[in-house]
Amino acid sequence: MKRGIITPTFEPHFKFVDKYLESAMEFLEDPNEVTFFFTVSEKEIDKLESLIAKYKSKLNLKILSFENILKHFDVPYTNWELLNKYEKFSYQTLKKFYTMLFLEDYEQFLVIDSESMFVRPTNIKRLFDNYFNEPFITKSRKFYKKPENFNNQVIENYSLILDEDTSKPKTKYLWFLENFIWFYDRKIMLDMFKNLGDPLSLVDKVYNYKYPGVGLFEICIYHGYIYQYNDDYNYGYNVFDADKIIKETFIDNDELYDNYIKQKNTMWSGMLGALELTMNFLNEKNYSKLAEAFKRYNFNIIRCESTDFSTYKYQKEFLDIAKPNILSASQNHTWGVNNQLKTRLWKLMVFNNKYARWIWFDMKGLLRPLSPLYRWLRLFYLISKHGLIWAKQVLDNLDILKK
C-alpha cells in the first residue's frame, strides 16, 4: 500500500519547511514507508528544490507543480486565477483535493501544513495503520448566536453542499474541525466526489453563496461526508463528540469543566474547536486529565502554541503523557527540534512572553512625549542639510550668476 504526506505550501512559508523536514529527519524511524509531496506553483519549484536538497538523502521528497495538476484535470483556470477568484481557503482546498486525486497510485494520505513538526520518534507505518484500523472523526455542536461568527460561516458553506440530501443527518450545527488528524482514504474521496460533485464545482457552489470569502474547508466537507454516509457505505468510522469528551474528562469536577469552557469561549470569541485549542488552557489542575483523554482517543496530531513561562511546565507534562507524534499549525513552541537552549530563551523570555511585549509597548509610550522634540531636531537637521547643499550649489555656480 502506497501512502503519501501532502504539504501544499508557498514561498512565504518556505521558512517553515526547513524545520518541518529537519524534524522528520530526526524522528522518523521508517522514512521509506512514505513519500512527502509538496504542491507549489511552477515558479516556486526551483527555490524549494534547493531548500529540500539536503534532506533527500533520508526522506522521499517530491515537488508537484499545481499548474500541471490543474491541466491534468482540465481546470479552466490558472493557478493565480483560482486564488484571485475563490480566495485562499477554497484555493487551499482545491490544492489539497486535486493533489490527492492526481496521485492515483496512492491509497492513503496525511495532509499537514508546512508549520507542522514531528516531536518524538515516530513509526510512520504504525501511525497510518493505527488510524485506519480504527478510523474516527470528531465533531462538536455550534450554536448560531452570532451568525457573523467565522465558524458559523464555515458551517453554512459546507452544510449548503452536504445538507442538499434531506435524507441524511444534518450538518448545519456541527463543527468538524476539532483536531488536526487529517488522514484521507482515496476510496472515500472518490465516493464523495461521485456523490457531491468534483472539487471545482463544490468550491464554485460556495463561491456563489453568501460567504464566498470564507470558502470551503476540505477537512470539514470530507469529515461531514463521512458523518452522513458512514452507515450507507460501511466506512466503519467512529464518530467522537468533542463536547462529550470534555464533559467526561471533568465529570467529577464541575469547576474545572466550567473554567475550561470559559477559557475556550474567551479566546477568539469562542471560535475554532473545543479540543483544538487545548494546549492554551492547561494548568496545574487539568493538564493530566486532558492528556489522558487525548491519549485515550488517540489524538496524536495536535495544535500547540502559547508556550511561555506560565504554560511551559504544564505543556511539557501534557506532552509526556499524551505523547503526540506531530504538532501542527504553528512552530511557535519549544518542543522537538525546537527544544534547544537558544530557542527556549527566545520563546520563553521574549517572543512568547506577554510581559516582554508589554515592556516594549510601555517603552514606546514612555518615549512618545519626546516625539515632538525628535521631530523638531529632525526638521532642524533637514533644513541645515538642505541649506548647506543649496549654498554649495550657489557658490559652485557663481560664474553662471555673474553672466
Q: What own/partner pairs with CB < 8 Å and gap ≥ 24 does 72-80 have?
A: 72/102, 73/98, 73/101, 73/102, 73/198, 75/200, 79/41, 79/42, 80/41
For range 270-288, the mean pLDDT: 91
Alpha carbon distances (Å) from 330 to 16, 118, 237 = 9, 12, 28
Count CA atoms within 13 Å of residue 350 on its CB side.
Answer: 5
pLDDT in tens, 181-240: 999 999 999 999 999 999 999 999 999 998 988 999 999 999 999 999 999 999 999 999
pLDDT of residue 349: 80
Q: What is the DSSP string of 3-71?
A: EEEEEE--GGGHHHHHHHHHHHHHHBS-GGG-EEEEEE-GGGHHHHHHHHGGGTTTS-EEEEEHHHHHH
| pLDDT at residue 400 tops 60 | no
- Name the percent of the chain lying above pLDDT 70: 96
Name the nearest CA neighbour of 48 among 31, 35, 61, 58.
Answer: 61
For range 246-258, the mean pLDDT: 95
The one-character DSSP state at 274 is T
Instruction: Find the range with the poorest average confidence among 115-124, 217-226, 253-262, 349-358.
Output: 349-358
For range 132-158, the mean pLDDT: 86
Name the nearest CA neighbour of 111 among 11, 226, 236, 222.
Answer: 222
pLDDT in tens, 205-222: 999 998 988 999 999 999
The H or E element containing residue 92 is helix 79-102
For range 314-340, the mean pLDDT: 93
Distance (Å, rounded) from C-alpha 207 to C-alpha 184?
24
For range 108-112, the mean pLDDT: 98
Most confident of 115-119, 148-152, 262-266: 115-119
Instruction: Find the range with the poorest average confidence among 155-159, 200-204, 232-236, 376-380.
Output: 376-380
pLDDT band at 345 (very low <50, low <70, confident <90, very high): confident
Q: What is the DSSP string of 102-159?
A: H-TT--EEEE--TT-EE-S-B-HHHHHHHHHHS-EEEEEE--TT-TTSHHHHHHHHHH
- Name the percent of the chain lying above pLDDT 90: 71
pLDDT of residue 267: 83
Q: Quote the Cα angle for 275-276-279, to 5°.
A: 85
Per the listing, cell 487525548 goes with: 294
Query: Looking at per-residue confidence, does 106 or 272 come out higher?
Result: 106
Q: Phi/psi class of residue 170: alpha, beta or left (left: φ > 0; alpha: ψ in -120 to 50)?
A: beta
Contact 303, 333 (CB under 8 A): no
Question: What order of strands is seen across the sheet that includes strand 136-141?
Answer: 174-175, 136-141, 238-241
Query: Looking at per-residue confidence, does 13 or 370 come out higher?
Result: 13
pLDDT of residue 385: 83
Query: Looking at per-residue confidence, does 369 or 400 come out higher?
Result: 369
pTM: 0.88
